[in-house]
């Protein structure tokens, strides 16, 4: 081993200074031969060679199922050699399995060119809302309703409210992409019980009080569940377009790196939505269905192929309800 390489093995750990990238990057303080040193460790990218990818599932060990719902399953696993029985190697892989998957899943998770589109109130009413209705009627929300109805994933429900009015109830669950232990990358989902709000588009001026109450109770409950987390360490946002058409709020720690899930063109701050509704003209029925929304979608998405691509080409979209 060269002298330069040997420096790594001689590093003596003393403290963890920081971690980011969802726990994939850590900064350690220590020493080498009595001299202070910092070691910054970051997990490397997966290999893309066929021989590696074909053997990936055989290389993982200690697979632990975290939960399942309908066709979705998620696990923690190890890709590193075992340490010792007294000090086992911690899981370093978060695995999500969709089985059996559909062609829609394949398109969703394949690389695709993104497009920025502007959805006017007219486009929403004439094409996008009928598309949303079709998605709901096709059963794409079964897994969400299974959670709300207590039929699945109840072991993953962190909290279920019991308000006087059923429409004020919600439940908290961990996002599939959170490892459930790194508080700095905390990512929770609040699924509301009411089923009349499919997305941010259904929100109206008359819903401001409900939204404010929802935000306040979420902040209070999350700070109670996670020691050391304070209300001003949390961000609240919704997606448009969302992955599924049942209103839900993302709750994340402010230290979570703002990846695609929080990007412009995808995320809308809950506080900004409340303020926009509150200052909007009109009566209580005025709402987010009356404004333009610009967001990004992939070329393989149904909204692009069935709505926005035809509109771009001067054609009439055909969206079957």
- Active-site amino acid positions: 248
State whether residue 161 is helix, strand or coil.
coil
Contact 222, 232 (CB under 8 A): no
**Bridge partners, 268 (sequence order):** 238
Query: If we measure between CA atoms, which residue out of 235, 179, 172 comes closest to residue 21?
Result: 179
Query: If we measure between CA atoms, which residue out of 204, 206, 216 comes closest to residue 163?
Result: 216
Contact partners, residue 298, CB within 8 Å, separation at least 6: 107, 108, 112, 113, 114, 115, 304
Helix or strand run (H / E) with residue 3: helix 3-9
Contact partners, residue 317, CB within 8 Å, separation at least 6: 127, 306, 307, 310, 311
Distance CA 161, CA 137 (A): 27
Q: Which two tokens stand for residue 38?
A: 């910092």
Distance CA 306, CA 245 (A): 18
Distance CA 297, CA 266 (A): 9
Helices of type H across 95-248 = 103-109, 121-123, 129-137, 142-148, 208-225
Q: Which two tokens stand for residue 93?
A: 């892989």
Distance CA 33, CA 12 (A): 9
Q: Which two tokens stand for residue 31?
A: 């020493």
């Amino acid at each position: 081993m060269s002298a330069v390489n040997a420096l790594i093995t001689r590093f003596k750990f003393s403290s963890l200074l920081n971690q980011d990238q969802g726990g994939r990057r850590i900064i350690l303080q220590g020493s080498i031969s009595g001299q202070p040193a910092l070691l910054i460790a970051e997990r490397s990218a997966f290999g893309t060679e066929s021989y590696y990818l074909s053997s990936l599932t055989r290389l993982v060990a200690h697979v632990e199922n975290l939960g399942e719902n309908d066709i979705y399953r998620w696990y923690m696993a190890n890709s590193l050699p075992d340490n010792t029985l007294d000090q086992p190697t911690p899981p370093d892989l978060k695995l999500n399995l969709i089985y059996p998957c559909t062609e829609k899943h394949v398109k969703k998770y394949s690389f695709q060119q993104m497009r920025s589109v502007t959805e006017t109130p007219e486009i929403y009413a004439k094409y996008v809302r009928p598309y949303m209705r079709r998605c709901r009627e096709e059963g794409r929300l079964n897994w969400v309703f299974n959670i709300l109805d207590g039929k699945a994933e109840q072991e993953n429900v962190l909290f279920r409210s019991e308000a006087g009015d059923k429409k004020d109830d919600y439940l908290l669950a961990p996002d599939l992409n959170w490892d459930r232990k790194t508080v700095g990358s905390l990512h929770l989902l609040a699924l509301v019980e009411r089923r009349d709000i499919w997305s941010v588009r259904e929100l109206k001026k008359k819903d401001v009080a409900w939204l404010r109450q929802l935000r306040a109770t979420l902040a209070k409950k999350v700070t109670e569940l996670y020691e050391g987390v304070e209300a001003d360490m949390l961000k609240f946002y919704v997606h448009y377009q969302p992955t599924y058409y049942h209103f839900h709020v993302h709750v994340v720690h402010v230290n979570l790196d703002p990846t695609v899930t929080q990007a412009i063109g995808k995320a809308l701050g809950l506080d900004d939505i409340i303020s926009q509704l509150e200052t909007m003209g009109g009566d209580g029925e005025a709402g987010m269905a009356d404004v333009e929304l610009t967001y990004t979608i992939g070329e393989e998405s149904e909204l692009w192929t069935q709505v926005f691509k035809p509109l771009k080409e001067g054609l009439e979209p055909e969206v079957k309800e």
